Amino acid sequence: MKFLEPHPFELLGPSFASVVDFQPLDNVTNFHINMSLVNDGLEINSLERLKGILKGAVKPQKSLAMVYAGHQFGQKVSQLGDGRGLLIGKLDDLNLDIHIKGAGQTPYSRFGDGRAVSRSVIREYLAGEAMHALNISSSRALMMAFSNETVIRETPEKGSQLLRVSKTHIRFGHFEYFNSLQEKKELKELLDWCIETYFHEFFLEKDKYLLFFKEVVRRTALMIADWQSIGFCHGVMNTDNMSILGETFDYGPYGFMEIYDPKHICNRTDIHGRYSYQNQPLIGLWNCSVLAKNLEAFIEPLQLEDALKEYEIHFQRKLLDNLSKKLGLFERDDRDAFLIQDLLNFMEKNKLDFTQSFLNIEKVLRNEDSFLDDSWIEKFNLRHQKESVDLENRILLSKNNNPKFVLRNFHIQTVIEEINKGEFDGLYAMEEMLREPYEYLESSYEFYKPSMAEFNNLALSCSS
């Protein structure tokens, strides 16, 4: 796996991205390298070059700040862009973008300092690894760099940088930008480049633009169904944070829900609850409809409308499949959705922990004591009598789909505070656990426990 420079997006020209000098941090004190990614086959020379770039010892061949637009909390913003991130190249074998977050000011910084702080970098690093281990499509990170450079947020904090890897950095907002400017030529160039790069199987098809859109809709629906299945809340589902490849992207005030509450809002900036847990599926569809509006020059409106109707089909099918597996069900029954909803209603009414409640399914299957509702358990057992698969395999299916470990914001904060003191043992322990989420490990048993009541379902700010 070799680091290739510069990124081929550069060939599209200056209308699509600005070439910007990367600004390394002053006095880099520590690095943390994602050995899980390195062990996928990253060449030592490539690793050393990337580390050298973050140190400021070598310069990237070309650093790109991409321009895009977006709907932020439902309001259209005609120009956004990479205000603190730079695209510097690709990892060839894995076909992953390499992007530096916290890379300094760009033409799109909008009065920002272009920096990132350690807490946001650590949170994004951990989230990417957690989602990857849960088989949910996500950006990840190869490296974190920590420094003594002061960055001002609510208070002075230490500056950090994240070397992020992702299948793409093309967002819904890229298409919004060119369409809002009525630049049809550039919009078509972007569409063609995306299809040739990421959906080459469609490139020679007569209806390639429709096929592209339908695939974006499908992937978005599947991603959000996966989020709902584990209680994940993104927090900032703006169209400029939505990947065309259905990849969880731009982690900010995210949260893995603890006490089950469909109305839970993980972003304290979101005062109207636009991006609450229960709204995420609808917002995914809304974002796809915004993308559709920006593709009307290339796809018939009725075709776009029909493609959007497929969103709910993909979402409902995937969500039901995911939740059925969590209950240890191999076969499908018309009333399974009602059985699942009854469980969720009980969890909500009794303020039960989302992860711990689904872990209790194994106890129910083994006929052991459980805190779940007796009347629901009776219906659950009757449903399992219809299964033709033996009990142990049903238990195994449930175990393999109910993580024992999820990232909880209170525990993440503990790790952040340790790292800010130069202590990394908590990070190593949490990394080990999040990479084996379906097993109990002895690294740090405290991280399996729900947060204390006052820290349960923490809402965080966008600067997180």
Please give the positions annotated as active site: 240
Give the 3-state DSSP-derived string for the chain, with helices as H, strands as E and coil as C: CCEECCCHHHHHCCCCEEECCCCCCCCEEEEEECHHHHCCCCCHHHHHHHHHHHHCCCCCCCCEEECCCEEECCEEECCCCCCCEEEEEEECCCCEEEEEECCCCCCCCCCCCCCEEHHHHHHHHHHHHHHHHCCCCECEEEEEEEEEEEEECCCEEEEEEEEEEECCCCEHHHHHHHHHCCCHHHHHHHHHHHHHHHCHHHCCCCCHHHHHHHHHHHHHHHHHHHHHHHCEECCCCCHHHCECCCCECCCCCCEECCECCCCCCCECCCCCCCCCHHHHHHHHHHHHHHHHHCCCCCCCHHHHHHHHHHHHHHHHHHHHHHHHHHCCCCCCCCCHHHHHHHHHHHHHHCCCEHHHHHHHHHHHHCCCCCCCCHHHHHHHHHHHCCCCCCHHHHHHHHHCCCCCCCCCHHHHHHHHHHHHCCCCHHHHHHHHHHCCCCCCCCCCHHHHCCCCHHHCCCCECCCC
Q: How far apart are CA 354 and CA 257, in angstroms?
A: 7
Q: Which two tokens stand for residue 66?
A: 């991409």
User: Among candidates 73, 101, 75, 105, which has minimal Cα distance to 88?
Assistant: 101
Q: How far apart are CA 188 and CA 183, in angstroms?
A: 9
Q: How far apart are CA 69 and CA 77, in angstroms?
A: 6
Burial class (CB within 10 angstroms; exposed 0-12, middle 13-18, buried 19+) of 288: buried
Neighbours of 437 (CB within 10 A): 19
The set of residues, in sequence order, having a beta carbon less than 8 Å from that of 216 and lying 6+ positions away, is 244, 245, 246, 288, 291
Neighbours of 287 (CB within 10 A): 24
User: Among candidates 398, 357, 379, 135, which has minimal Cα distance to 261?
Assistant: 357
